[in-house]
Amino acid sequence: MKIGRWVAGLICLCGIVLFVYSVPMFYVELRDHCVGFASCSAFYDTAPTPEWLESHGLTASAFAFAYTALYTLFGLVYISVGLLIFRYKSKEFVGSVASVALVTQGYMFNSLSQFLLQAHPSVTLLVKILEVLSYSAFMTLYYVFPNGRFAPRWTKYALIVLLLPGIGRSLLPGTPFDLQAVGHNLYIIWTMTWMVSLLTVQIHRYRKVLDPIEKQQAKWAFYGMFGGIAFLIGVTLVFVFKPDDLNRNPLFLYGMETLLDFGMMLIPFTLAIALLKRRLWDIDALVNRTLVYVALSLFVIAVYIVGVWYVGTVFRSASNLISSLIATGIIAILFSPLKEFLQRKVNRLIYGDNEDPLTVLGTLGCQLENPLSPHEALKVVVHTVKDALKLPYAGLSIVRDGGGDSMIVAEEGEPASEPLRLPLVHRGEKLGELLCAPRSAGESFTVSDRRFLDMLVRQAGAVVQSATASLDLIRAAEDLRESRERLVLAREEERRRLRGNLHDDLAPRLAALAFTASAAETLLESDPAKTKAILAELQTVIRSSVADIRRLVHDLRPPSLDELGLIDAIRERIHDITRPMARPDGQAGGGPTEFRLFAPETLPELPAAVEVAAFRIVTEAMVNVIRHSGARRCEVSIAYILEPEAALTLEIADDGVGIGVGGGSRRAGGLGPGGIGLQSMRERAEELGGYFRVENVEPAGARVTARLPLTAGHDNGERSESA
């Protein structure tokens, strides 16, 4: 990189030296050897005669000074900007190329280099080499601007192909390698090709390669290049179609030269802004005005020419004054409405439809009439905003589960900077946010943009609310499906366990009983004493089998529920677990836990599933209290409610150590006799469409709550019992 910087600096130095050396010599040559001569080395066209200069009050010195001052100003602008870029950006490849292109173009673009070639043939090789480097650097600059990389890679080979004819023309003039010598039309085609290629490559890189900051830089470079080429083509057309007027009127010729040079000065100014300014100005407004007034200027010129020609032809009027007045009147009538029409079209091209929100809302409504999924509907809203305002990025986030956190559910594009966040509110409830990134980094939204977005978010709130409700239903359906799958799996697991118990335990035991009874029958007469012992053993096995069968039945559905009902069954369970018993070593607490039951006198007839779930949840929670909490008091509350729907509510609260306290005291849901941990209790509640919650309470203890939906019944009063 250092070598490249030194090479770029050396090329710039050579260009500056030749520029400084040639300016005074150019002035002298133009003053002393051009006025009145048929041709001269310092002027590319026919110089004015002494008589013309005298008739206009001018001298040869004034003529020479005018052109020398114009070329010097042009060269100083290019060289100054080139040196400024070299000072701050020469460590980067694009900075070195830009400095070489600008410094050498400041010397090569006008007649200074051609004069030096003819006046001092000894420097021909140096001038030709600088000409090749200048042309090559200028082309390369716009192929790699602004990041210094050839992307896509084919642009590197396209650049080489376009450079070869220019190199041949400079180094080997008059040979088959010089297109201008081969054929003038071929040379014109090549010139137009490389001009179009510069614009095409920049557009392609802008759309496919560059990031948001680089796009803003490219806008400035493209604006300067496009403006310079436009001036170049315009002046060239005048030279092609009006050569006689230029030769007869040196002032007109000088005006065209001035217009061309000042037009080409757009290139260094825009490059300096693009490469050196940290926070780029918004160029869109400048482009907007340029497009509008260029179109208006073309319209005025066209109407004036056509008007003058038409009036002169139809009315055969020799008076240019009448034709001019008629054309001017037509322009005056059409100017204002045409300006407004062009302004609307250009605004739509650059800013989108921000001034026509009703049309956008109508389009959005038509798209939402189609059958769309919730996600697709939200994507339609995002796409409409992005497309309507020509934004690089638009997104939509929704609030999750009524909390403060939000989640992006639809987005399109890449943000150039931090997006603007607009709240989406429906009936006073914030549903989410609409995210809109500015069109380029550092740019802000216009008043029309904000007005458009404010109107859109008010209408989009209803769409988002509907989509959010649909998404909630989809999630609820998915949760229900998963719950049903868990229920089926649990049911199959229970059946597998029952089958194993019956097949592996009870079936062999009953078979053994049959063999034992047969043996007793055989020994009944021959050995009564042994028969008696066998029958005693048989009696013990039968009792054990009966106990196992009762245990299996209890696991399926506690018999006490059918015998006593839910409330009395829980009361009996409290009595069973509070019998005096020794606690294992290391468990929290030292004394027995006092249980208090709060429940209605009677309950309506409950679904069997609700009874079993309530019994299992309450008994498991009480067992956890005794085993893990170290509580001295536990209150069990059962209530039957009708609003908002008929349901059975359960609450088990204690004053123990709480949840997750003290390592071993953590109530992590160890399995109880019924095989139900905290997760199983939660699944039992959710299978019935209810909920289950475990939480700590202040100042100490934990609370288990569950809500089990059921068929409507009657709510009776509560009474308190102690156990």
CATH number of the domain bearing residue 635: 3.30.565.10
Higher pLDDT, residue 8 or 493: 8
What is the CA angle 433-437-442, rounded to 5? 135
pLDDT tens-digit series, residues 346-383: 555 555 555 555 666 666 667 666 667 777 777 888 88
pLDDT band at 184 (very low <50, low <70, confident <90, very high): confident
Query: Which of 507, 530, 555 is the last residue before a domain boundary?
Result: 555
pLDDT band at 650 (very low <50, low <70, confident <90, very high): very high
pLDDT band at 588 (very low <50, low <70, confident <90, very high): very low
Q: How far apart are CA 708 and CA 687, in angstroms?
A: 9
What pTM does this model have? 0.50
Half-sphere exposure of residue 528, counting CA atoms within 13 Å on the CB side?
1
Higher pLDDT, residue 552 or 179: 179
Higher pLDDT, residue 487 or 723: 487
Q: Of 101-115, 160-174, 372-386, 438-452, which range is least confident?
A: 438-452
DSSP 593-634: PEEEEEEES--PPPPHHHHHHHHHHHHHHHHHIIIII--SEE
Q: What is the pLDDT of residue 589?
A: 43
Any residues with CB less than 8 A from the CB of 221 and at least 6 apart, and which? Answer: 142, 145, 146, 202, 270, 271, 274
Q: Which domain holds residue 425?
A: 357-481
Any residues with CB less than 8 A from the CB of 142 and at least 6 apart, and which? Answer: 198, 201, 202, 221, 225
Residue labelled with tokens 């319209």 = 299
The verdict on 535 and 613 lying in the same domain is: no
Task: Indicate which CATH number applies to the domain containing 390.
Answer: 3.30.450.40
Q: How far apart are CA 203 and CA 218, in angstroms?
A: 9
For residue 9, which amino acid is it?
Answer: G
Cis peptide before 176 (omega within 30 of 0): no
Mean pLDDT for the stretch of residues 549-571:
78
Q: How far apart are CA 716 and CA 723, in angstroms?
A: 22
Is the pLDDT reported for residue 499 higher than 60?
A: yes
Give me Rg for the CA atoms of the chain. 47
Q: Of 44-58, 116-130, 163-177, 669-683, which range is least confident?
A: 669-683
The verdict on 522 and 627 lying in the same domain is: no
Token pair of 664 as six digits? 């071993």
pLDDT tens-digit series, residues 419-437: 888 887 777 777 788 888 8
Q: How far apart are CA 75 and CA 71, in angstroms?
A: 6
Higher pLDDT, residue 476 or 176: 176
Higher pLDDT, residue 666 or 703: 703
pLDDT band at 723 (very low <50, low <70, confident <90, very high): very low
Q: Are 448 and 354 in contact (CB under 8 A)?
A: yes
Q: What is the pLDDT of residue 716?
A: 36
Q: What is the pLDDT of residue 637?
A: 93
Q: How far apart are CA 87 and CA 81, in angstroms?
A: 10
The verdict on 226 and 315 lying in the same domain is: no
pLDDT tens-digit series, residues 123-151: 888 888 888 898 899 889 888 888 888 88
Q: How far apart are CA 28 and CA 121, in angstroms?
A: 18
The verdict on 82 and 225 lying in the same domain is: yes
Q: What is the pLDDT of residue 320?
A: 57
Q: How far apart are CA 417 and CA 349, in angstroms?
A: 22
Q: Are strands 702-709 and 420-426 parallel, antiparallel or unpaired?
A: unpaired
User: In 3-state terms, what secondary structure has residue 372?
Assistant: coil
The verdict on 304 and 269 lying in the same domain is: no
Query: Which of 261, 281, 301 is the last residue before a domain boundary?
Result: 281
What value does the mean pLDDT of the chain take?
76
The verdict on 57 and 187 lying in the same domain is: yes
Task: Indicate which CATH number applies to the domain containing 516.
Answer: 1.20.5
* Residue of 420, 481, 488, 500 lying closest to 456 (CA atoms): 420
The verdict on 66 and 208 lying in the same domain is: yes
Q: Of 264-273, 309-318, 489-498, 647-656, which range is least confident?
A: 309-318
Order of strands across the sheet that contains 406-413: 406-413, 393-399, 429-436, 420-426
Is the pLDDT reported for residue 323 higher than 80?
A: no
For residue 664, which amino acid is it?
Answer: G
Is the pLDDT reported for residue 101 higher than 80?
A: yes
For residue 718, which amino acid is it?
Answer: E
Q: What is the pLDDT of residue 505?
A: 66
The verdict on 522 and 612 lying in the same domain is: no
Query: Which of 250, 281, 312 is the last residue before a domain boundary?
Result: 281
Mean pLDDT for the stretch of residues 189-206:
84
The verdict on 76 and 163 lying in the same domain is: yes
What is the total count of domains within the chain? 5
Higher pLDDT, residue 588 or 300: 300
Q: How far apart are CA 53 and CA 490, in angstroms?
A: 109
pLDDT tens-digit series, residues 377-422: 778 888 877 777 777 788 888 776 555 567 777 888 877 677 888 8
List b or e across 400-423, with b for residues whose CB sees 16 or more CB atoms inside 10 angstroms: eeeeeebeebbbbeebbbebbebe
The verdict on 104 and 239 lying in the same domain is: yes
Q: How far apart are CA 329 and CA 333, in angstroms?
A: 6
DSSP 105-127: HHHHSSTHHHHHHHH-GGGHHHH
- CB count in 10 Å sphere of residue 364: 20
Q: How far apart are CA 416 and CA 440, in angstroms?
A: 6
pLDDT tens-digit series, residues 209-253: 887 777 778 887 887 888 888 888 888 888 888 877 777 888 888
Q: What is the pLDDT of residue 631?
A: 85
Higher pLDDT, residue 537 or 585: 537
Q: Are 169 and 179 in contact (CB under 8 A)?
A: yes
Q: How far apart are CA 52 and CA 626, in angstroms?
A: 120
Mean pLDDT for the stretch of residues 45-72:
84
pLDDT band at 577 (very low <50, low <70, confident <90, very high): confident
H/E element, 557: none
Q: How far apart are CA 453 and CA 448, in angstroms?
A: 9
Q: What is the pLDDT of residue 675?
A: 38
Strand partners, 595: 634
Mean pLDDT for the stretch of residues 523-532:
77
The verdict on 321 and 259 lying in the same domain is: no
Is the pLDDT reported for residue 580 higher than 60?
A: no
First to last CA, the chain: 89
Q: Of 342-351, 405-414, 456-465, 633-642, which range is least confident?
A: 342-351
The verdict on 127 and 275 lying in the same domain is: yes
